Amino acid sequence: MPKAFTDQERRRARENVVKAARAEFSRSGYRKANIESIADEAGIAKGTVYLFFRSKAEIFATVLEIVEREMRTQLREELDRAFDEPRQRLEFFFRALLTRMMDHPLLWIVVDPEEAMALFRDLGPDAQRLQNADDEFFDTLVAEWRNAGWLRNVDPHVFGGAAQALFAVSLHRDLLGDAFPGVVDLLVTSLAAELVAVK
């Protein structure tokens, strides 16, 4: 019978699984990633992965939470710099968020229709924890910006939905072709103009 993990070994093994999963999902996407590859990269047996996670979907959700937390922290730091006017801050926010979602190999998975459908099907009720993190981010941001006088009185869910609508447009960049940057520019400037507080 194998020796049981110490607490420190369990923590290190779980961290290795998460690190390996992040690399595997970045390379393969959600649907093509597999537990065996994650286990091999983490240097543990496939069955050991299940000591820490119930499923591939749960591993992905954990990795995604880490990636989103990193992205949001970095974005908030960038938003803390001085802007000449609130509208510039809003435009910067929408552009930066869109760029990160389009360019990051893990964040893109949650807006790709086929990948997202497979992920949320596999997650089932656990998908709500990812939505809760999004809601909390937009609730906090909208409250802060309204209090600062930068943003008009807008429902945080509407504000978050506007950002998600930009992601939806990004799914059609091939269809839009050369017009895509101009379309994004028009949408971002229009959103910022509509949402900025009127003084």
pLDDT one-digit tens code per residue, 110-167: 888 899 899 999 998 888 888 888 899 999 999 999 999 999 999 999 999 999 888 8
Superfamily of domain 1-53: Homeodomain-like (1.10.10.60)
Rounding to the nearest 10 degrees, give the CA dihedral for residues 168, 182, 68, 26: 80
pLDDT one-digit tens code per residue, 66-104: 999 999 999 999 998 889 899 999 999 999 999 988 888
Helical (H) or strand (E) element with 128:
helix 127-147
Residues in CB range of 61: below 8 A, 6 or more apart = 123, 126, 127, 129, 130
Q: Which CATH number fits domain 55-195: 3.30.70, 1.10.357, 1.10.10, 1.20.120?
A: 1.10.357
* 3-state class (DSSP) for residue 1: coil
pTM value?
A: 0.86
Using an 8 Å Cβ cutoff, are 146 and 191 in contact?
A: no
Structure tokens at 111: 């807006």
* 3-state class (DSSP) for residue 196: strand
**Domain-by-domain residue ranges, the chain?**
1-53, 55-195
